[in-house]
Structure 1
Amino acid sequence: KRLQTTLGTDAITARFSDAVFTVLLGFTGQEALPATAQAVQTALETDPYRLNNGDFELRASIGISIAGPALREAAVLIQQADLACGMAREGKDTRIHVHHGRSVEQDTTSPQQRRLLDEIRESVQQQRMNLLFQPIVSLRGDTTERYEVLLRMRNHEGWEILPETVFSLVKRHRIGMVLDRWVIAHSIRVLRQRQKRGQSVVLFINISPTILQDEEFLHWLQGGLQKTGVPAASLVFEMTETTAEVYKPVLQPFLLELKKLGCGVSLDHFSGHEHSQALAQTLQADYIKLDARFTDDLLNNKTRQEELTQLARTMGALGMTTIVTGIEDAMALPVLWSSGIDYVQGFFLQRPHTDMSYDFDQTVL
């Protein structure tokens, strides 16, 4: 309704996925686009949205793709608008980005980003990469070893490249597929080594949206699991809720094939809203990692505790396991336990480490 009110009856609006909308405008020139995008953003963000369980504010990011004589295919226009929207979300100012017709590999916004991309490629070529592991611990007495796998890269001087910088960039480039395969292959190797020692481990692996373009990935993964004898259930593939929303049309069949292999699926940065719950059901998620806002002032905020309890109950009824991340002290654990949360993860338990050394058997939370 806000889109239609702002843009008028000539604009064609549609819901692309849960929290993503598309608009087709008939402007003959580009000079009006920035002002129009700003007006839309203001209209969407000015007043909160009233839902059944309260009022919520919206943070809108806008990506723009421009049709022309050389670009008339709807699928390409949508893909470029999607790319631009992703770049807008990472922006620090207006969160509005226009795709200028370059390929995904070329569409970097600054020389600094291009230098960083070259540095990442060099790190891959010279194998300046390693894995870290952070434990995910049960609040319900389950001693199964679970770890999140974290990739770390170093530049030519040996300094670590900030992970958030790496992943915000490579998720838009084919190099992301290379990194995903590297992490998965090394994780399977680690699982095989643990298996030989009679140790069962489940690894949570973050994947980038570029993996959806890897047409041979599923065949490659199946071959790797069969060759090593590592159970598919030892791998849980994880993607953020925001990314999953954007790529849902192609992500859903991809995740379905992963689940057919026997792998698990996890949604990270889960917001808990109604559309988030619907997304988790659509993607058949096995785990949800709750957004950090759930632990903010948790001990003193009764409303948040009640919200957490209700969410844990709802997701549990859907057969999904809840994980709270970012735990930094023991004070929150009794509240999380009484709220029905299944697992916790954070520096309080253990910082990411080069080996899987956490003692699950001796830990009672």
Structure 2
Amino acid sequence: MKGRSHRSIVSRVLLMHVLWVFGVYLLIAAGLWWVSTSLIENNLQKQAVQWVAELDTLGTPLYVSKNSTQGSQFEARLQNFPEVAYVRYYNAQGTVLGEYTANKERDVPVVTPEQLEQLASLAGTDRPYLFDDTAADNAYVRLLYPVTIKFMRPDNMFNLDLHDRQQEKIKIIGHIDLGMDLGHYREYLLKLLVIGSVVIGLMILLSLIFGRYMIKKALAPLTDLQEPLARLARGDIDVLVESSGDEEIIAISNALNATISALKQRDRALREMADHDSLTGLVNRACFIQQLDDELLRIAHGNRSSAILFIDLDQFKYVNDTLGHAAGDRLLIQVTALLKARMREQDVISRFGGDEFTILARNVTKASALGIAKTINELMRNFHFLENGQSFNIYCSIGISMIDSDDFHAGDLIAQADIACHQAKRRGRNRLHMHEHADQDRQRMEVDVSWSQLINKALREDSFVLYYQPIIDLSGAGAEFYEVLLRMPGANGELELPSAFLPAAARFGLMLDIDRWVIAHAIEALARLRAAGRDITLSVNLSAQSFEENSVLRHIEDSLRQHNLPAQALILEITEQMAIRHLDRTREFIQSLLDVGCRFALDDFGAGFSSFSNLKNLPVDYIKISQPFIENLATDSVDQAMVKSIIQIARSLGRLTVAEYVQDARTIELLREFGVDYAQGNYIDKAADHPRMEIFQRHASEGRRRAAQG
């Protein structure tokens, strides 16, 4: 918790040590005080008994003489003993005969009749005295003693037996009231306790100093762990914890070192996963671009050149569609091995996406780069892919872009090599093409660079615009449902359609940034609309790059959690071609979001009809029928048959269907007749910069009217 201070273990142990010692001292002092007071009282009682025997003798003149000056004899005697607080002599009737008081201001208690009766009963016994414990404030010990005389009975004078006490008669002639002062002893005891406390305090201080030293020494290995733990908390795992000290500290150090080792292994594995393609083990697109950026910096500071080779397999789609994705994966692994065998250790080979590879050939001339490309073409020409007893010739097209200055960014150079690869494809299979800045590709490159600049500006200035096109429930019911579409301000301020700028975004590696922007703003808009009380669902398109990045999955989950939205209010769309091309990864990504609660739609379904059978392997909720089957549905019987087949298959798999690009009322009627669940298109409503609720209100009203008409 911020702002809260924490004590160290050393100070905590020392505080406990101090409290323990102080508590023990208080207990000892209290015990000594109680025991000492008890001993003093017992001792004073014994002294009082001894004193009354002497006082009995000293006070004899008071009982045999009526001279008042007789008391000066015992007063002179008692003045030398400060423990005697007072002495008072009484006659048998309780009249004071003489007294001595050490402190004239102190009140001396008076003997009560009850006490006289008690003393009369004690006379002649072994303990002929009475201790009074009712003295005020326990300031002194009070002893009452009867003064007696013994004489023989007159009738036994002639039969005297010295051992027969019954022949004696005891007569009380007076009483002695003696007070022994406790203050003198208590003062002395308090003085001793103060001196003892000082001595004990010094001993405690020395104990604390020595204890602090010993505790710090004993806990030094533990306190030494603070720095490595702080570094670990900051994310620095390049730490080694020294194992020293006691057995427990060594155990903690070993556990920390084991944890650090595990974290390092995890980081290496995560970096490997983040930087490498899981299938081929080659570096992925993001890592390749980073290495290309580093190469640009090296070239900017040195007189040398390198090259990028963009490789696209010509027959991959045929193998993938004919033999299945497992065979396609094995083909990619074999091509990877072939490329690794040809390139040098210093070069970087990347699986850029799907069946595309890129190579960063370091420190090569233009002629060397062409030589490398020709060698790869030759290797692929001689390569035969064997599967299920069949042999396939796999060719590749290669585009080359030289890196000999820092005039271009990494994205520019990759786009150049990509364009050169397309030029090679147009000239036939297993060809290569070197990008030349002077050829016609330069114009296209300049256009793409211009688009990339506008895209970066829109991302930087947050100037993209979201449009919303309604998707209506053809049954006449249903809540608000929109597809989110993207628009970008052009060079002259007009809004551009995605078809204008997304190809350049894909070539320059900007699709992931665009996807993140759209996801964040669509979820924000969804939260705002639902907070206003609208039961609304939004459908958002994702690019292939998002399916290669786990961070997009986390971004979606975090955004939904941040806005406290139900995940089922968000539908994510992916095109059929992209889904089939990356089937395993797509299925894994879709399932992860389905587990969160999101729903999925397969867009442009039917464009890849050869992969129809793969639909059952994709856990999507909606199938969006492709435009070519819908735009001429009203007049084309083949399209009608295809749409019916798609609906039948979708229903058997428990999927809902959406017809896109609806352009007229007849198409709506046919779609409703065929059993399509949803429809969207310009006939229903064009995309707008805000979700228009009145479209759904009007559609619901029309549905009620149709139901009333039967």
- TM-score, normalised to structure 1, is 0.74
Identity level (%): 23
**What's the counterpart of residue 106 of structure 1?**
413
Deviations 1:238-296 (A, max 9, x none): 11111222222322211111111111111111117665433332221111111122124
Q: Identify the match of residue 590 of structure 2 among 255, 264, 271.
A: 255
Q: Aligned with 1:362: secondary structure?
A: helix
Assess if the C-alpha contact under 8 Å between 1:134 and 1:148 holds in 2.
yes
Amino acid across the alignment from 2:544: P
* Residues 204-219 of structure 1 mapped to structure 2, 5 A cutoff: 204-219=539-554
Aligned partner of 1:361 in structure 2 is: 697
Equivalent pair of 1:18/1:279 in contact (CA under 8 Å): no
1:127 corresponding residue in structure 2: 462
Cα deviation, residue 101, structure 1: 7.7
Aligned residues: 307
1:68 aligns with 2:376: no
| Partner secondary structure for residue 280 of structure 1 | helix
Residue deviations 1:101-157 (CA, integer Å, cap 9, x gap): 896663213232122212211121122211000000111223211100011111343
Separation (CA, whole Å) in 1 of partners of 2:659 and 2:601: 12
- Indicate the larger mover: 244-253 or 338-347: 244-253
1:1-365 aligned at under 5 Å gives the runs 15=323, 17=325, 22=331, 68-70=342-344, 76-77=350-351, 79=353, 81-82=355-356, 98-100=398-400, 106-108=413-415, 109=419, 110-271=445-606, 275-359=610-694, 360-363=696-699, 364=702
Please give the per-residue CA displacement for 1:132-186, whole angstroms capped at 9, x wherever unaligned.
Answer: 0000011122321110001111134312234112222323444212211111111
Change (3 A) 1:169 1:361: same
CA apart distance, 1:19 = 11
Shift in CA distance, 175/274, structure 1 to aligned 2, threshold 3 Å = closer
1:18–1:275 Cα contact (<8 Å) kept: no
Indicate how the Cα distance of structure 1 residues 311 and 228 shifts in structure 2: closer, same or farther if over 3 A, else same: same
1:107 maps to amino acid: I
Moved more, 154-163 or 138-147: 154-163
CA gap 1:115/1:330 in 2 versus in 1, 3 angstroms: same
Which residue is equivalent to 1:90?
A: none
Structure 1: how far apart are the matches of 2:625 and 2:340?
Answer: 36
- Greater shift, 210-219 or 190-199, is seen at 210-219
Give the Cα–Cα distance (whole angstroms) in 1 for the partners of residues 576 and 345 of structure 2: 31
Specify whether residues 16 and 159 from structure 1 end up closer, same or farther in structure 2 by C-alpha distance, changes over 3 A only. farther
- Cα offset for 1:214? 3.0
Aligned residue for 1:141, secondary structure, equals coil
Q: Is the Cα–Cα contact under 8 Å of residues 129 and 153 in structure 1 kept in the other structure?
A: yes
Change (3 A) 1:285 1:195: same
**Cα drift, residue 215 of structure 1:** 3.0
Q: Distance in 1 between matches of 2:661 and 2:593?
A: 27
Query: CA-to-partner distance for each residue in 1:319-356, whole Å, 9 max, x for gaps?
Result: 11111111111111111111111111000011110111
1:188 Cα offset (Å) = 1.1
Instruction: Give the equivalent residue in structure 2 for 1:36.
Output: none
> Is the 8 Å Cα contact of residues 577 and 607 (structure 2) preserved in structure 1?
no
Q: Residues of 2 paired with 1:284 and 1:358: CA distance?
A: 30
Contact 1:136–1:343 (8 Å) recurs in 2:
yes
- The one-letter amino acid paired with 2:495 is E
Q: Distance in 2 between matches of 1:283 and 1:101?
A: 38
Q: Which residue of 1 aligns with 2:78?
A: none
> Deviation at 1:72?
11
Extract unaligned runs of 5+ from structure 2. 1-313, 359-395, 403-409, 420-444, 704-710
Counterpart-to-counterpart distance in 2, 1:71 and 1:212? 30
Give the drift of 1:16.
6.2
Question: Is contact 1:131-1:150 (8 Å) kept?
Answer: yes
Query: In structure 2, how many angstroms separate the alpha carbons of the residues matched to 1:261 and 1:329?
Result: 38
TM-score normalised by the chain length of structure 2: 0.40
Question: Which segment drifts farther, 192-201 or 104-113?
Answer: 104-113
Query: Which residue pairs with 2:368 in the alignment?
Result: none
Note the C-alpha offset of 1:300.
Answer: 3.0
Answer yes or no: is the 8 Å Cα contact 2:571–2:600 preserved in 1. Answer: yes
Which of 347-356 and 239-248 deviates more?
239-248
- DSSP-derived class of the 1:152 partner: strand
Change (3 A) 1:168 1:156: closer
SS at match of 1:335: helix
What's the CA shift for 1:317?
Answer: 1.6
Q: Residue 83 of structure 1: CA displacement?
A: 6.7
Secondary structure of 2:673's match?
A: helix
Instruction: State how far apart, in whole Å, the 1-side matches of 2:631 and 2:673 are.
Output: 17
Seen in structure 2, the aligned counterparts of structure 1 residues 112 and 18 have a Cα distance that, compared at 3 Å, is farther
Identify if the C-alpha distance between structure 1 residues 66 and 136 changes in structure 2 by more than 3 Å, giving closer, same or farther. farther
Answer 1 or 2: higher relative contact order, Cα 8 Å, separation at least 6.
Answer: 1
Q: How far apart, CA to CA, are the structure 2 residues paired with 1:159 and 1:273?
A: 34
Q: Deviations over 1:3-53 (max 9, x none)?
A: xxx99xxxxx66463997958689x9xxxxxxxxxxxxxxxxxxxxxxxxx
Contact 1:329 1:348 in 2 (8 A): yes
Find the aligned partners of 2:586 and 2:345 in 1 and give their Cα distance: 25
Pair 122,72 (structure 1): closer, same or farther in 2 beyond 3 Å: same
Change (3 A) 1:80 1:261: closer
Q: Partners of 1:217 and 1:321 in 2: how far apart?
A: 26
**Hey, which of these two has a bigger chunk of helix by percent?**
2
In structure 2, the CA distance between the partners of 1:105 and 1:315, relative to structure 1 (3 Å rule), is farther
Q: 1:309 to 1:75 in 2, by over 3 A?
A: farther
